[in-house]
Structure 1
């Protein structure tokens, strides 16, 4: 098993909510991927929707607080964008190259994750079988990101690293975790 911890940083030009921290860990065991995000701080300042009784696939989850990760196959332009809402909604998109050919990834009918809002902490845990999109032999590169919207409507962009002049999670140079 290959496991790594992470800590996300806000895009430098963003005014991020004070005392906010986003960290977690990611592990790959065979073709099973496990990611755990922890959002810590004054969650009363963050726009977090209640957990839905009927979570479903939805578009444009990045318009609100949304945990994301981008997964690419090493030495391939193709990659996937995974969106996980604090309310339990989700989506997965397949792209042919940098922001090219974006379409829903139909290999997934749901994403097995859960969200726990513990007052000062919001924890999201995902356990995913990658076998529907890649083989166990393929090395992957991952970018872990989060969009945080505060109650005033301001949005901040958090990532492992920010390599562009603007916040852009799709830049392949930011896929820095190798599993």
Structure 2
């Protein structure tokens, strides 16, 4: 399992620590965990829901995200994971395109499990259809972990790294995990 310290886009905001971890589960499963340390209890949590519904616009509140890129290709997937236990997956042909709002739903990613924990969030994703449809192996993929935290201090944006002048989770340069 590989883990990453996610950093706030606003470097002055150091009140919350966030770690993301990625684990490949053969043949097509991906496990991701997020561990959050919020000693001042700044994070505002959405209400829990049941049955893991697919819901749009989760990023407007506290939301963890997984981006899946393919080496040498423009297309990618964005998976939104709410601590409410709602989720959604989107497909893009290239950087933020198509520009539909909400984005186009990706039906080739399935959720095995999404659970809010006392320390953050655990998710198990099934990438079978996505990987088989595009004839992908694990070493073809690269992953970005991000989070939007709705806090009493405003929205805070966390990522593996921030290389753009504004918080931009769609910037593939910041998706650092490779298999």
TM norm structure 1:
0.87
Structure 2 match to 1:63: 60
Which one of the candidate residues 8, 14, 17 is aligned to 1:21? 17
- Inter-CA distance 141–84: structure 2 relative to 1 (3 Å threshold): same
Equivalent runs, 1:151-162 vs 2, <5 Å? 151=152, 154-162=154-162
Q: How far apart, CA to CA, are the structure 1 residues paired with 2:8 and 2:57?
A: 20
Name segments (4+ residues, structure 1) moved above 6 Å.
Answer: none
Q: Return the TM-score normalized by structure 2.
A: 0.87
Summarize deviations over 1:132-168 as a string: whole Å, max 9, x none: 111452520111000001135x101000000100000
Q: Between Structure 1 and Structure 2, how many residues are aligned?
A: 170
For each residue in 1:58-92, what CA deviation from the matched residue of structure 2 results, as whole angstroms up to 9, or x when unmatched?
11100010000100111110000000001001100
Q: Which runs of 5+ in 1 are unaligned?
A: none
Who is 2:29 aligned against?
32
The answer for unaligned runs of 5 or more in structure 2 is none
5 Å-filtered alignment, 1:136-151, equals 137-138=137-138, 139-151=140-152
- 1:1-179 matches, within 5 Å, as 3-12=1-10, 15-16=12-13, 18=15, 20-30=16-26, 31-42=28-39, 44-101=41-98, 102-108=103-109, 110=111, 112-116=113-117, 118=118, 121=119, 123-135=120-132, 137-138=137-138, 139-151=140-152, 154-179=154-179
Give the drift of 1:41: 1.6
